[in-house]
């Protein structure tokens, strides 16, 4: 009978749990699901497209090493201060283990990768934050690495460029984390007083103590499209002001409308545009005509 067709499933009195093997039907690493439009993309294609979703143009998170690869001239990057080690100053439970596991996962000693490299033939110092490491949060080592990178740029008399990606200050190091905001700032002030260029490139997400310190004070502030940038989290604000926030609240575009950014630049244009900007800032004196 026709009815039996519909009953067929009801008769099934057991649940199926796919085996481990079946679960990995699409072997890990071959395809990636875009977190925005939920379409699957081949990992190979995605990397060619600079980790930008070909369907919806969503800029996915990148690791620090991937950024080095797409941003700097080939084989010019030399990393700095990879030997610095995070300690557990407040004896926070399981903090050290978490750091160790993230270090293993990312191949970084902390949530930022710093070093000297060339951008279209011009020497620059870069710092690239990696949100895969403790959400890019800033503790003593992140602050120290960024500060040393800024000092290196001052010493070499070259521009300093940072890619920010951070949830903010690192809770597990308490007030020490807070002070990294000030530490990086005093170094930036010196760099600036030498008439040197600082470009801050804000990527998804840049929030809290990082957005409230070095990320926001570039001579030029740039963001990637749709990047989440803000001080306090959306939920905190909604609970405080007791009103619903607009959809585009704290996006890069929202910030540009509100005067906080110089430009929003697509990832595929970033290298070229920033290289041009650096080129335009190499003059030490007014040019003669």
Partner 1 sequence: MVKTMPFEEPVVQLKAKIEELKEYTVSAEVDLTAEIKNLEKRLHKLEQEIYENMEPWDRVQVARHPSRPTTRDYIQLLFTDFIELHGDRLYGDDAAIIGGIALFDGKPITIIGHQRGIDTKENIKRNFGMPHPEGYRKALRLMKQAEKFNRPIICFIDTKGAYPGKAAEERGQSEAIARNLVEMAGLKVPVISVVIGEGGSGGALALGVANHIHMLENSTYSVISPEGAASILWKDASLAKQAAEAMKITAPDLKKMNIIDGVIREVYGGAHRDSEAQATYMKDVLINSLRELSKLSAEELIEARYNKFKHMGEYNE
Residues 150-209 binding partner 1 (CB under 8 A) are 192, 195, 197
CB of 277 to partner 1, least distance (A): 6
56 is in an annotated binding site: yes
240 belongs to the binding site for partner 1 (CB under 8 A) = no
Helices 267-280 & 64-71 angle (0-180, nearest 10): 60
Q: Which residue in 138, 263, 267, 270 binds partner 1 (CB under 8 A)?
A: 263
246 belongs to the binding site for partner 1 (CB under 8 A) = no
In the numeric block, the tokens 């530490």 are attached to 183
CB of 264 to partner 1, least distance (A): 9
Phi (first) and psi of residue 31, to 5 degrees: -125, 150
280 belongs to the binding site for partner 1 (CB under 8 A) = yes
Residues 210-229 binding partner 1 (CB under 8 A) are 219-221
CB of 281 to partner 1, least distance (A): 5
Strands 263-264 and 229-230: unpaired
Q: Which among 158, 145, 130 is positioned nearest to 79, based on CA atoms?
A: 145
257 belongs to the binding site for partner 1 (CB under 8 A) = yes
Residue 269, burial from CB neighbour count under 10 angstroms (0-12, 13-18, 19+): exposed
34 is in an annotated binding site: yes
Q: Quote the DSSP letter at residue 19.
A: -
CB of 33 to partner 1, least distance (A): 34
Question: Residue 80 pairs with which residues in a beta bridge?
Answer: 114
In the numeric block, the tokens 């997400």 are attached to 205
163 is in an annotated binding site: no
CB of 261 to partner 1, least distance (A): 6
Q: Which residue in 261, 266, 270, 271 binds partner 1 (CB under 8 A)?
A: 261
37 is in an annotated binding site: yes
- Using CA atoms, how far apart are residues 24 and 202, in angstroms rounded to an integer? 35
CB of 229 to partner 1, least distance (A): 13
Q: Which is nearer to partner 1, 243 or 285 (CB)?
A: 285
Residue 268, burial from CB neighbour count under 10 angstroms (0-12, 13-18, 19+): exposed
* Those residues with Cβ within 8 angstroms of residue 78's Cβ, 6 or more apart along the chain or in another chain: 115, 116, 117
Q: Which residue in 18, 27, 29, 259 binds partner 1 (CB under 8 A)?
A: 259
Annotated binding site for Zn(2+): 34, 37, 53, 56
Binding residues (CB under 8 A) for partner 1: these are 192, 195, 197, 219-221, 256-263, 273, 276-277, 280-281, 283-289
């Amino acid at each position: 009978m026709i009815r039996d067709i519909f009953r067929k499933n009801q008769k099934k009195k057991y649940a199926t749990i796919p085996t481990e093997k079946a679960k990995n039907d699409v072997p890990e690493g071959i395809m990636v699901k875009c977190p925005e439009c939920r379409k699957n993309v081949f990992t190979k294609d995605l990397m060619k497209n600079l980790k930008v979703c070909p369907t919806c143009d969503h800029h996915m998170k990148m690791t620090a090493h991937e950024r080095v690869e797409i941003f700097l001239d080939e084989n010019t990057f030399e990393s700095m201060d990879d030997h610095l080690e995070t300690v557990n100053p407040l004896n926070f439970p399981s903090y050290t283990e978490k750091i160790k596991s993230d270090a293993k996962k990312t191949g970084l000693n902390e949530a930022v990768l710093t070093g000297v490299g060339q951008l279209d033939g011009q020497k620059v110092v870069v710092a690239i934050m990696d949100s895969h490491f403790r959400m890019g949060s800033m503790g003593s080592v992140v602050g120290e690495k960024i500060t040393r990178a800024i000092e290196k740029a001052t010493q070499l008399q070259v521009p300093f460029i940072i890619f920010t990606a951070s949830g903010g200050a690192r809770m597990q190091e308490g007030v020490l984390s807070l002070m990294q905001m000030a530490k990086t700032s005093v170094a930036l002030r010196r760099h600036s007083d030498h008439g040197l260029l600082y470009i801050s490139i804000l990527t998804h997400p840049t929030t809290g103590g990082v957005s409230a310190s070095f990320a926001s004070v570039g001579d030029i502030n740039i963001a990637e499209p749709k990047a989440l940038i803000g001080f306090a989290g959306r939920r905190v604000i909604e609970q405080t002001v007791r009103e619903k926030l607009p959809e585009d609240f704290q996006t890069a575009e929202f910030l540009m409308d509100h005067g906080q950014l110089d430009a929003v630049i697509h990832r595929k244009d970033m290298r070229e545009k920033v290289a041009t900007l650096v080129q335009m800032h190499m003059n030490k004196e007014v040019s003669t005509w």
